[in-house]
Amino acid sequence: MKSIERPTKAIMVLVLSPDSLEPFSHKMCDLNAAPYDAPPLSLCSLQTPVTYCAANTSDLEHVVQHIKGLYPSAPVLGVGVSLGGMLLLNYLARKRTESGMVAGFTISVPWNALKSAATMEEPLNWLLFNRYLTAGLCNAVTRHRKVLEKVVDINFVLKAQTIREFDERFTSLMFGYKSCSDYYFDASPDNKLHNTAVPILCLNAADDPFSPQHAFPLTTIQSLPNVALLSTAHGGHIAFLQGLFPRGASFMESLFGQFVQAAFEHPQDIREACGIKEEQRS
């Protein structure tokens, strides 16, 4: 029997849902990817009254530990998309030099949850996005009513008209926060970037309704040699299409490929450019 040679490289992929980014996830899988998706409540069967939030990184920590146990010598690069980007940055900030990752890459991350919520409650954004996403969250709660009614008032939760109201009545209570504002502060990566210890590249668009431009932590990032923010005038939320009739790879896919190549093939150069000392390697 032939022995199976394990890959020498692993990539961690964080996505908001497995459906919305399926083509992008397939692109990742071409590069020895190890996808981790936040559990889609509309698809899975919830066994315990525990869901997920942007501030809780315990699941991600277990996934990284599992991968490092399987491939102890393989470098791991974290990729966070939207809410997954919040999870990744929060994870990197909390674990610091013990993250087990050589670098991080985020796409359309909401930097400040409170400012994002306010932007999403503007009339047009509420009509186009907020009410639809809130309805989806409420439908997921309804599907798992028997399990979740042990810890929250389901009827009150289902009356939510915005994502903020849903988080006030469900998410913040589920994870023990005194208020939704406390949860949003804890979930926001903008105030934790200074604790990160690996090279991080962030891609955001100025016209992203989920991550408003005025919330970009430009001053903080300018003071951090290990973090770079690439901001485009257009790109929306996880779009970044190129050309009048976009075909083929999007801008975010091309940028991702370049960053992965640099992180894996020129790690020492990147660490030196970021001012990261040898003992800080993850």
The span from the CA of 246 to the CA of 140, in Å, is 34
pLDDT of residue 67: 87
pLDDT of residue 105: 94
The span from the CA of 238 to the CA of 21, in Å, is 9
Q: Where are the alpha helices (DSSP H) in 30-127?
A: 58-70, 83-95, 113-120, 123-125
Catalytic residue among 144, 208, 211, 250: 208
The angle subtended at Cα 211 by Cα 105 and Cα 224, nearest 5°, is 50
What are 33's strand-pairing partners? 11
Q: Is 237 a catalytic residue?
A: yes
Catalytic residue among 17, 167, 237, 250: 237
Contact call for residues 236 and 205 (beta carbons, < 8 A): yes
Catalytic residue among 82, 172, 188, 282: 82
- In the chain (282 residues long), the average pLDDT of successive 10-residue segments reads 48 54 52 56 70 90 89 89 93 95 95 98 97 95 92 96 97 96 98 96 97 97 96 94 81 90 90 77 48
Q: At what angle do helices 22-29 and 251-265 cross, to 10 degrees?
A: 30
Q: Is 266 a catalytic residue?
A: no
pLDDT of residue 46: 76
Structural domains for the chain: 6-112+188-273 (3.40.50.1820), 114-187 (no CATH)
Longest dimension (CA), the chain: 63
The span from the CA of 138 to the CA of 80, in Å, is 25
CB atoms within 10 A of CB 92: 29
